[in-house]
Amino acid sequence: MNALWRDIRHAARGLRKAPGFLAIVILTLGLGIGANTAIFSLMDQVLLRPLPVHDPAGLVLLDGPGAFQGRTMNAMTFSYPMYKDFRDRNDVFTGVLARFPLSMTIVWRGASERANGELVSGNYFDVLGVGPALGRVFNAADDQTPGAHPVAILSYGYWQRRFGGTQPS
């Protein structure tokens, strides 16, 4: 144990004599620790924590190999009629929902802003088992007539950032 303390004192004396080298050592250690913390925090959020839905282990992403029959845009996108067929003839899953990511323009009080959003089916929140922090979510009635029930749901972060956490009028 005495040898360890003697080595530490010798290293400290050597670092005191070279302040430039000491600064580089401290900066390198700080960057290394910071980068590792950021990477492990991201891994924890993305891979280790379960999704904030009712049954995250029961979520399944449907995809089918082969030709693009009944699909739109790419291999991971089904057409709306195909989704309705999956939903109505489903006897395997607790529920089937549809989602389609897109960019949109949000206009409020004369100011417009580009935002990322999703078009989702009326049963989206029922299937996921999540509710709103304020207001209401979509329901099956919103899905009956296209364009008849324009409803938008904001993420909590967007609501806080864009509207300051107040209810838009």
Q: What are the pLDDT digits (tens) for 122-169?
A: 888 888 888 888 888 887 777 777 777 777 888 888 888 888 887 755
Whether residue 59 contacts residue 127, with contact meaning beta carbons closer than 8 Å, is answered with no
Model-level pTM greater than 0.85? no
| Residue 156: strand, helix, or coil | helix
Is the pLDDT confidence value at 32 over 90?
yes
Give the angle 122-124-130 at the CA atoms, nearest 5°. Answer: 125
pLDDT in tens, 50-85: 777 777 777 777 766 666 555 555 556 777 888 888
Q: Radius of gyration (Cα) for the chain, nearest Å?
A: 26
What per-residue confidence (pLDDT) applies to 65?
61
Q: Cα separation of 122 and 151, whole Å? A: 10
Reading the block at residue 112, the tokens are 């417009």
| Average pLDDT over the chain, rounded to an integer | 82
Question: What ranges do the domains of the chain cover?
Answer: 2-48, 56-163
Interatomic CA distance for residues 73 and 126, integer angstroms: 27
**What backbone torsions phi and psi does residue 48 show, to the nearest 5 degrees?**
-95, -35
At 12, which amino acid appears? A
